Amino acid sequence: MHGPASSGWLLVALCAVTGVYCLVRMRSGGGEQRRGAGSEALMGFGMAVMAVPAAVFTPPSWAWPVYAAVFGAAGVHALWAARSGAHHLHHLVGAAAMVYMSVVMAGSPAHAAHGRDASGIPLLTGALLLYFAGYVLLSGVRLVPVGALAGGGRTGGDAPGWGDRPELARACRLAMGIAMVAMLLTL
């Protein structure tokens, strides 16, 4: 990598592609899968926008409070959805992390370069880093096929559509977890 701008663009691309795939998953699924994919798409696109290098685009001062409000609403939605399944709690933590980063950006001097020179609360930043690092490790382990561990192969049959592939959904969640760790490290 050639510095912060190139790593920022890689993060933008990773999050945007993840968001697009989550939109594809929304079209192929129904009910609960659609809602989860929608939350993940919002997170992916939100993270992509937040990761744009400051040399290219510095958001106006009103953008960070709007960002915090959008992800605050997403967090409330995730909390409401957690009644039907605990897996929505991860969306709640992700939305809370986005609100936290938005508040830190709004409070930093001149909205300092998307995270550089920003100063968050070290204990909260550390707790979020630990959560997402653990999530990344767990997600990575879940990507290893059970058949590969047991020495077996994949069974035949019709290949599922792009939106119906659970391993791709897991890979997207892993990518967003890694991106969240990278973004939190800049605080």
Q: Supply the DSSP string of the chain, one letter for each residue.
A: --SHHHHHHHHHHHHHHHHHHHHHHHHH--THHHHHHHHHHHHHHHHHHHTS-TTT----TTHHHHHHHHHHHHHHHHHHHTTT-TTHHHHHHHHHHHHHHHHHHHHSGGGGGGGTT----HHHHHHHHHHHHHHHHHHHHHHS-HHHHHT-----SPPPPGGG-HHHHHHHHHHHHHHHHHHHHT-
CB atoms within 10 A of CB 163: 18
Share of the chain above pLDDT 90, in %: 49
pLDDT in tens, 34-45: 888 888 999 999
| pTM, two decimal places | 0.82
Confidence label for 161 from pLDDT (cuts 50, 70 and 90): low
Contacts of 17 (CB under 8 A, 6+ apart): 175
Of residues 61 and 113, the one with the higher pLDDT is: 61
The pLDDT mean for the chain works out to 83
Question: Angle of helix 88-107 relative to helix 32-50, nearest 10 degrees?
Answer: 20
Instruction: Measure the CA–CA gap between 81 and 74, rounded to whole angstroms.
Output: 10
Whether the pLDDT of residue 47 is over 80: the answer is yes
pLDDT in tens, 71-121: 999 999 999 988 887 888 999 999 999 999 999 988 876 544 444 455 788
Share of the chain above pLDDT 70, in %: 81
The burial of 153, by beta-carbon neighbours within 10 Å (0-12 exposed, 13-18 middle, 19 or more buried), is given as: exposed
Average pLDDT on 16-21 reads 94
